Amino acid sequence: MTGPLLPSDPSRLAGYRLLGRLGAGGMGVVYLGRTDDGAPAAVKVIKAEYADDPEFRARFRREVEAARRVSSPWAVPVVGADPEAAEPWLATAFVPGPSLAEAVAECGPLPVRSVRVLAKMLAGALAEVHAAGLVHRDVKPGNVLLAVDGPRLIDFGIARAADDTAITSADMIVGTPGFLAPEQAEARADALGPAGDVFSLGCLLAYAATGRPPFGTGAVDALLYRTVHDDPDLEGLDEQLLVLLRPCLAKDPAERPSAAGLHGLIMEDTPSEPAGWLPPDVVRIVAETSAAMLALPDIEPTVAEPPATAEASPSRRRFLVAGAAGAVLVAGGGAAAVWAALRDDGDGDGKASGAGTGGSREWIVGLQADLSGPAKALGQAQERGARLAVEQFNARKDKPFTLTLKTADDRGDANRAGAVARAFIEDKDVLAVLGPTSDTPARAVLAVYDEALLPLISVSAGASILSTVENRSFLHARPNNLEATASITMLLTVGGTALGAQYAAGPAAGGPSRRPGLLLDRSAGDYAWESVGSVNAVVRNAGLTPYPRVVPAGTDAFRPIVTDMLAAGSDAFVYGGYAPGAAAFARALTAAGFDGPVYTPGAALTTEFLQASDEAGDGWLITATCVDPTGLPAAADFTAAHRKRFGSAPAYFAAEAYDVVNLIADGLRKAGKRPTRAELIKSLRATVYQGVTKAFAFTPDTGSFVAPASGAVFGYRVDGGRFRFLGPASVPSASS
């Protein structure tokens, strides 16, 4: 729990000996301190550069004042502070126990009685906060410490007077997504008050009882959307907890109980003995923390860390600078020298390498795919496309090396995906990996490949987090789910003809919608939000007033929902979810007599949707990030070769996999020698490659896809029980 002091840390501050670090952030450090009398304290010290900011110093001064105004046995008391010092500091009593977040992560959900006691004590603490005229505004598991005699509420850093909105604007969200109230999520400054703390407490207690946040995890915008529109996930909760939590989690602040009222409901749960309210495994953590704190010397020794060795991996900053370099272009006589060097198979250290050309090492491209799980149709299609690309490359007489395709089935399972990734990483002859097929395994292995600097390129996984975080090794060979919905928003706000003449037919070709109905099916998790939540935000900004609805996971009776949405005036629909729900929704719309435009993103591009929806799906417009190679002139040769090799037309995403393997082969060829994995990442991220499906280009720092001017999202209309390929439906990005 406690880390050593660094050489730059002071050994004393005011009346405190500093023994170690409890935590550190960009604005300061929290130390474990001890008074001369032996009392432990947590000492927060703000860096001088932030103290020079008058607004920051004023906020810190308010934190000190707020914490001092709260008098409760379940709120950590202030034992010292100097907000006017050159480096302002605040000392609170040290609680030798884990945070609620740490305890649940290590030991699992708390028993029912522990949660009820937690509710009583924290409600009491919040009652004192509100009685002092304050609103905490950041009640979350990380701000509750567990001690043997009860919990402690900490961190009044953003607490404010109940009637003070000085730092709250219509565009400022204050608090922690996933543990804040709907009025906070929507930044409704006039509605923020004590009731928001009660909602946050309800979220915290649901997390303590189930081990999962009641509005899920994922992108911040997704959490905010669910908080406002979704019912909380309270599945599996004991009935006595449901009675307490349901009122706390009411969307309307006026329907929630006060903290004092909630505290009064559970007085019978006052713990009768120390530690009796906590399960044994959490008590053990508290005991171990206390023992470790007591064993600390007066001053923790500070030892400078040794410099990194030459073998250490490059820092992210140095790597990103290198990754921004331009691609190497070889032409004319220079190309002959490159091919000759490749035939020698030198790997830069004087050793021979390369299979098929006299060397001892193989040049392997890995394929991590779902070949037998829920997305096996996509995985098998990508395997065929990748295999065809490798076979065609190896058939070239002037090939500088022989490629090997090494496949591994992760079955779409996150745990198995990690094992597959580690196996590829350990095989030093694997130079790049295509995959995974879907979002769940892709998110599970992103950091694994990143740590090893092994290039990972996905053509079908679309989660926005894959391309919105700073990755060192990932390349997203398609627009993410959020970007892929831009064409749907244009169809709603402008009409079908805005995307070209091929869209000016059928129900989806109408003009702007007056009130689109947006249906988010929670069976599809984050994919549903990224499909519909982003549309909701964009069309609102465009001046439309959509009618959003959210349905629980597993819903297949859509008729009442359709009736409600039509009664609300919905004249067009967007469905966010997977193929089974899309088919059920299509049948409900047809039964209700609706024959207007319906849009959905690519998850419905399956034979399952066609079969289950029957004629009800006719007219639906689906936008996807894959092409139909049989309808794309540029892919005619690929389609013919696929038919000859496998005896059938290529399925969706086969051509994209074919393109990516050729992209990798081109990067290996251009390297001039057998590249390291890091060198190959640099080359791939800096290149622009024209495939049969589209042009591939990437941003150097995140590996996210840069949409070409010709577009990278494609439209399909359901017509007579089949998907009719309409061609590009993209709204190109500003960077294209």
* Annotated catalytic residue 230: no
One-letter amino acid of 477? A
Q: Is 229 helix (H, G, I), strand (E, B) or coil?
A: helix
- Segment 283-332, tens digit of pLDDT: 888 888 766 665 555 444 333 333 333 333 333 323 222 232 223 222 33
CA dist., res. 679 & res. 696, Å (int)? 18
For every residue of 124-158, DSSP letters joined together read HHHHHHHHTTEE-----GGGEEEETTEEEE---TT
Contact 5, 21 (CB under 8 A): yes
Out of 1.10.468.10, 1.10.510.10, 3.40.1190.20, 3.20.20.70, which CATH number does the structure's domain 100-294 have?
Answer: 1.10.510.10
pLDDT band per the 50, 70, 90 thresholds, residue 682: very high
Could you give the strand order of the β-sheet that contains 89-93, starting from the edge strand earlier in sequence?
Answer: 12-13, 16-24, 28-35, 40-46, 89-93, 78-82
* pLDDT confidence of residue 162: 47
Mean pLDDT of 625-633: 95
pLDDT at 630 over 90: yes
For the stretch 377-420, pLDDT in tens is 999 999 999 999 999 999 999 999 999 999 999 999 999 999 99
Q: What is the mean pLDDT of the chain?
A: 83
pLDDT score of 512 more than 80 = yes
Domain ranges of the chain: 12-93, 100-294, 333-479+633-705, 483-624+721-728
Edge to edge, the sheet with strand 714-718 lists 547-551, 516-521, 572-576, 598-601, 621-624, 714-718, 723-728
Q: Specify the CATH number of the domain 333-479+633-705.
A: 3.40.50.2300
What pLDDT score does 638 carry? Answer: 98
User: Residue 449 pLDDT > 60, yes or no?
Assistant: yes
If one compares 15 and 214, the residue with the highest pLDDT of the two is 214
φ, ψ for residue 179, nearest 5 deg: -135, 35
Q: What are 641's two structure tokens?
A: 């070769």
pLDDT value of position 40: 85
Residue with more model confidence, 625 or 81:
625
User: Are 333-479+633-705 and 483-624+721-728 in the same CATH fold?
Assistant: yes
What gap in Å lies between CA 633 and CA 639, rounded to an integer? 10
164-168, 362-366, 705-709: least confidently modelled range:
164-168
Q: How far apart are alpha carbons 318 and 470 in whole angstroms?
A: 14
Which bin fits 412, alpha (ψ -120 to 50), beta or left (φ > 0)? left
Structure tokens at 426: 């350990």
d(CA 396, CA 419): 34
Q: How far apart are CA 597 and CA 609, in angstroms?
A: 17
Q: Which pLDDT band, with edges at 50, 70 and 90, does 629 fall under?
A: very high
CATH number of 483-624+721-728: 3.40.50.2300
Stretch 490-503: mean pLDDT, rounded?
78
Mean pLDDT value of segment 131-155: 87
Is residue 446 predicted with pLDDT exceeding 80? yes
Q: Is 693 helix (H, G, I), strand (E, B) or coil?
A: coil
Of the candidates 36, 52, 138, 398, the residue annotated as catalytic is 138
Mean pLDDT, to the nearest integer, of 529-541? 82
pLDDT (tens digit per residue) in 425-443? 999 999 999 999 999 999 9
**DSSP H/E element including 205:** helix 194-210
Three-state helix/strand/coil letters over 47-83: CHHHHCCHHHHHHHHHHHHHHHHCCCCCECCEEEEEC
Higher pLDDT, 509 or 215: 215
Q: What is the pLDDT of residue 623?
A: 94
CA neighbor of 534 nearest in space, from 487, 594, 470: 487
What's the CA gap between 17 and 31, in Å, rounded? 10
CATH placement of domain 12-93? 3.30.200.20
- Please tell me what DSSP assigns to residue 630: G
Q: With pLDDT > 70 as the criterion, what percentage of the chain qualifies?
A: 84
pLDDT at position 701, please?
85
Chain mean position to CA 467: 10
* DSSP symbol at 313: P
678 has pLDDT over 80: yes
Indicate the pLDDT class of residue 95, thresholds 50, 70 and 90.
Answer: confident
Confidence of residue 23 (pLDDT cuts 50, 70, 90): confident
For 419, phi then psi, to 5°, come to: -65, -40
Place of tokens 């004023």: 58
Tell me: the pLDDT tens digits for 652-674?
999 999 999 999 999 999 888 89
Residue 597, Cβ density class (10 Å: 0-12 exposed, 13-18 middle, ≥19 buried): buried
Summarize pLDDT for 577-609 with one digit per residue, the tens: 999 999 999 999 999 999 999 999 999 999 999
Q: Is pLDDT of 568 > 60?
A: yes
pLDDT (tens digit per residue) in 327-376:
322 233 332 332 232 232 333 333 333 334 434 689 999 999 999 999 99
State the pairing for strand pair 456-458/474-476: parallel
* Tokens representing residue 637 in the block: 């040769």
Cα gap 4→18, rounded to integer Å: 10
